Amino acid sequence: MHELSMAQGIINAVLETAETNNATEVNEVTIEIGRLAMINPEQLEFILGVLIENTIIEDAEIKIENIPVEIECDDCEFHGNAVIDDKDHYAPMVKCPECGSYKIEILNGKDIIVKNIVIEKPDD
């Protein structure tokens, strides 16, 4: 159900933006999903497809971009993409690829963001 509430929030944000800009149609929506957002992109894409039926988003191309986890290591000061271990854990374990430390600060990779919306406006 997490994907459903997330999808509804995304659709509401896109519709609100389209309405504010007097759009007649939404052609494309780009969504960024952080690796730690705990969202299944395939499920989200399916739910979005159902929710956009009979809206001005219905024919839009939905693009989903996965965002890696960016960290800063407290032990070795590494700054970059983390190593994610989620094979034996329900929640992903994030560690530094340089020294293997789990003492890290997560800088990016937890969010879900509507990055871009391409709309059509009526001819004035």
Q: 7 and 44 share a domain?
A: yes
Q: 58 and 3 share a domain?
A: yes
Could you give the dihedral angle defined by the CA atoms of residues 85, 86, 91 and 92, in that order, rounded to the nearest 10 degrees? Answer: 30
Name the 3-class secondary structure at 79.
strand
Please state the rounded mean pLDDT for residues 112-118: 94
Q: 79 and 61 share a domain?
A: no
Please state the rounded mean pLDDT for residues 43-50: 91
**Contact by Cβ (8 Å): 73, 101:** yes
Q: 54 and 28 share a domain?
A: yes
pTM summary value: 0.82
Q: 26 and 64 share a domain?
A: yes
For residue 28, the domain's CATH number is 3.30.2320.50
Name the 3-class secondary structure at 19.
helix
Query: How many other C-beta atoms can be found within 10 angstroms of the C-beta atom of residue 63?
Result: 13
Q: 74 and 100 share a domain?
A: yes
- Do the bridges between strand 70-73 and strand 25-34 make them parallel or antiparallel, or are there none, so unpaired? unpaired
C-alpha distances in Å from residue 109, one per residue of 18, 55, 106:
27, 30, 8
> Who has greater pLDDT, 15 or 124?
15
Q: 24 and 64 share a domain?
A: yes
Q: 63 and 117 share a domain?
A: yes
Q: 33 and 57 share a domain?
A: yes
Query: How many other C-beta atoms can be found within 10 angstroms of the C-beta atom of residue 28?
Result: 14
Distance CA 75, CA 84 (A): 17
The contacts of residue 17 (CB under 8 Å, 6+ apart) are 114, 117, 119
Note down the domain range covering 81.
69-108
Q: Given pLDDT bands bounded at 50, 70 and 90, which one contains residue 32? A: very high
Q: 52 and 29 share a domain?
A: yes
Domain count, the chain: 2
Q: 56 and 79 share a domain?
A: no
Q: 33 and 87 share a domain?
A: no
- pLDDT tens digits along 63-97: 999 999 999 999 999 999 998 877 665 677 899 99
